[in-house]
Amino acid sequence: MAAPSSTTNVMLSISEKKTVSLDLYRPLRNYIVYNYSEREAQNLEDDLQTLKEYRSDIERAGSTDSSSSLPARRDLLQNYYKALCAVESRFPISPDQDHINSVTFTWFDAFKNKYKAAQQNIHLEKAAVLFNLGAVHSQMGLGFDRSSVEGRRQASHSFIAAAGAFAFLRDNVAMKASMGSSTTVDVSVECAGMLERLMLAQAQECVFENSIAKGNTPGVCAKISRQVGLFYEEALAALSVAPLNQHFDKAWLAHVQLKAALFYAEACYRYSLELHEKEEIAEEIARLKSGVNALSEARKTSPRGAAQQLLDAMNKLEASLNLNLERAMKENDRVYLMRVPPASSLSPLPAFSLVKPMQMNDVLDASKEKMFASLVPDNSAKALSRYTEMVDDVIRTQAEKLQQGSELARVRLREMDLPDSILALDGNLSLPVALKEDVEAVQICGGPAGLAAELQQLRDLKRVNQELLVQTEEHLQKEATEDAQFRTQFGTRWTRPQSTTLTKNLLDRLNRFAANLKQAAESDARIERSVRDHAALMSILDRHPIESALPTLARPIMSLDATEDAIVGALKQSLRHLETLGAQRAGLEDMLKEMKRKDDILPKLMTSTGSHEDLFRKEIAKYDHICEEIAQNLEAQEQLLLQIQAQNEEFASIFNLEDYKASHERIYKQIEAAISKYREIKENINEGLKFYVTLQEAITNVKQQCSDFVMTRSIQCREMMEEVQRQISGLSFQDGKSSGWT
């Protein structure tokens, strides 16, 4: 049977580093005023005050009288770290004369308070904050009730977070903070790495205790226990060499060394239980002896100062090991008689890690930090412009590929007469777009059927012109006849000019109009003859819809294997797939534009402490998956077009597509010829209508002149009549008088 867990709840937490008071408000505000403006400093007053409060709270949190809760201190440290990242990218803090050189960060070593570091750069401040964040997480882990499954789960989570904080310190800040003469061991790369391993060991230890409580198999418990031991062994290795071997109390070294031995022995014990069930007695004995020896060796070599509870746990486990060892040896001597292998020949115990450092990148991501956001140094603005150019180049290149892909598909389909030939099979006939538009223009104008009405309009206008001409001529003729009568009647007394002399110009114009009308009548006759002669040709334009004039693509009359439906179905399926690929391309282009719209890396540029090129490579990689999808889409389209080409060749062969295309071309040409002839006739009719309208205006004008002339002559006629009559009356009077005198 498995003995109860011999582990102990004795674990370590890390104390926070302590600092001295520091005023960040005044130096930073002066820098803003000097390099930007007083107005900018006023606008950023809230941010400056917030930073001041963060620093003040950090100082109090590290003091012994701090009453803030651990979660609140955790949040404070995280917020302050992100604020420091915003400060780092905007405020150069260094001994340089042109920088903020009045700020010195001072922090004491967490493990040896007599040592301190003072630096005029922000790296020490950031390192200390990260260290304290890990320390607070470790204290939170130690504060949970680890006598329950849920308490151990929560504790494990806190230790994992602590490991993440120390790992983040090691990988991002520790090296920078350790540069120079004034530094402390606690924020070194070596110490941060050791603390990460220690926190992982305690997190895995909580998992092991829960696995025992849940009744997991001895084999599983052995693997989990062995990983606990490995984590402690890694921490012990770091504590055993410089610079840590002379920095930590002996009690620390004793605790870690005994824990490493304890969990190795625990793994041996759990593994031996599984071996016993398998009746592998020889290895069981060897594993039990190995566990006992590890505990014994640890007691001899470890420094003094370990907690009594830990020593009691070792004694309890050793008793369980010896009990099982004695039993196994008796069984082997009596029953199995197997040779026990030496410890050196045993394979390493299997281990299984169920914990890893929490990723702190998101938790400590300062790219969304709004503090001092309005301050954009010139180098950041230039870097942003460079990145924007990179994004634009990606968008432009991919957009061109998408457009070329769509154009290629259109051209290839047009070369194969697709999808028109498939649509024709279903009765969905269509004309080329330009030809369709020409036909619609003809039909809107009335089409060939409307020419009769226009010809009638020509005839009507001609008649009106002829009538006007006759009326005008009759007016002049009537006036001339009257003038001749009076001239005959009165002889030489009728002295006014003859009408023919005065109307010569008008008559000449009327004669020209008559000649024009005669010529127009001949043109009209030719137009009507052309309409009659080409009525059959143009009748196709009166078909509604015009597509009804096209021949249909018929299925073969005879089929040997009846595969037409399958061939047509496969081709239709491929065309639908091609449409889907086209729709995907449109969606991918929209995705690229939307990603660019949301792509704001300025906050990351402002908080980045590494190479801009490294950041650019990481950020531009966001577009890689869309670029890959575009490449896959275009490759899939190319393969699909080859497939469609093969399917279309088979379709064209079975359905005799060449003859169908030839008949279509004939109809197209007939329609084109009909349109051409219609336009020719229509143009001639329009010219005729225009001619008659113009001529009518001219004749009307001449008619008015003639009317004026006739009216004037009529007035002259009356006046002359009166004059002639007076003359005649006078002569009669003279004659009478002469007779009287005689």
Tell me which of 279 and 140 has the higher pLDDT: 140
Chain position carrying tokens 């001749």: 484
Q: Return the bridge partners of 116, or none.
A: 108
Q: What's the mean pLDDT in 215-224?
A: 96
pLDDT digits (tens, 9 = 90+) for 693-717: 998 899 899 889 888 888 888 888 8
Helix orientation angle between 45-61 and 122-143, rounded to the nearest 10 degrees: 50
CA atoms within 13 A on the CB side of 716: 16
For position 742, what pLDDT does the model report? Answer: 39
Domain boundaries 25-345, corresponding CATH code = 1.25.40.280
Q: Return the bridge partners of 19, or none.
A: 107
Tell me which of 110 and 501 has the higher pLDDT: 110
460-469, 472-481, 690-699: segment of lowest average pLDDT = 472-481
Whether CATH 3.40.50.970 fits 392-416+555-654? no
305: confidence class by pLDDT, cuts 50, 70, 90: confident
Q: Flag whether pLDDT at 229 surpasses 60.
A: yes
- Measured at the alpha carbon of residue 176, what is the angle toward residues 174 and 179, in degrees to the nearest 5? 105
Tell me which of 429 and 644 has the higher pLDDT: 644
Rounded to a whole number, what is the distance in angstroms from the first to the last CA of the chain?
A: 193
For position 741, what pLDDT does the model report? Answer: 40
Distances (CA, A) of 466 to 442, 471, 528: 32, 9, 19
Instruction: Verify cis geometry, omega within 30 degrees of 0, for the bond prior to 545.
Output: yes
> Position 710: which residue type?
V
pLDDT digits (tens, 9 = 90+) for 388-404: 888 889 989 999 999 99
pLDDT digits (tens, 9 = 90+) for 240-252: 999 999 999 999 9
pLDDT digits (tens, 9 = 90+) for 352-383: 999 999 999 999 988 778 888 888 776 666 77
61: confidence class by pLDDT, cuts 50, 70, 90: low
Distance CA 391, CA 627 (A): 12
For position 734, what pLDDT does the model report? Answer: 57
Structure tokens at 135: 């320390």
Q: What's the mean pLDDT in 668-673?
A: 84
3-state secondary structure 251-309: HHHHHHHHHHHHHHHHHHHHHHHHHHHCCCHHHHHHHHHHHHHHHHHHHHHCCCCCCHH
CA dihedral 127, 128, 133, 136 (to 10 degrees): 150
4: confidence class by pLDDT, cuts 50, 70, 90: very low
For position 485, what pLDDT does the model report? Answer: 85
Helix orientation angle between 657-741 and 504-533, rounded to the nearest 10 degrees: 160
Give the percent of the chain with pLDDT over 90: 51
> Position 568: which residue type?
V
Structure tokens at 625: 């998956």
Structure tokens at 569: 């179905």
Instruction: Verify cis geometry, omega within 30 degrees of 0, for the bond prior to 448.
Output: no
550: confidence class by pLDDT, cuts 50, 70, 90: confident
Distances (CA, A) of 223 to 211, 270, 273, 353, 359: 11, 9, 13, 8, 24
217-221, 494-498, 644-648: segment of lowest average pLDDT = 494-498
Contact 279, 312 (CB under 8 A): no
2: confidence class by pLDDT, cuts 50, 70, 90: very low
Mean pLDDT value across the chain: 87
Q: What's the mean pLDDT in 336-359?
A: 92
Of the candidates 181, 185, 200, the residue with the CA atom closest to the CA atom of residue 239: 185
- Three-state DSSP class for 182? coil
Question: Domains of the chain: which residue ranges?
Answer: 25-345, 392-416+555-654, 448-532+687-741
Category of 527 on φ-ψ map: left (φ > 0), alpha (ψ -120 to 50) or beta: alpha
For position 6, what pLDDT does the model report? Answer: 45
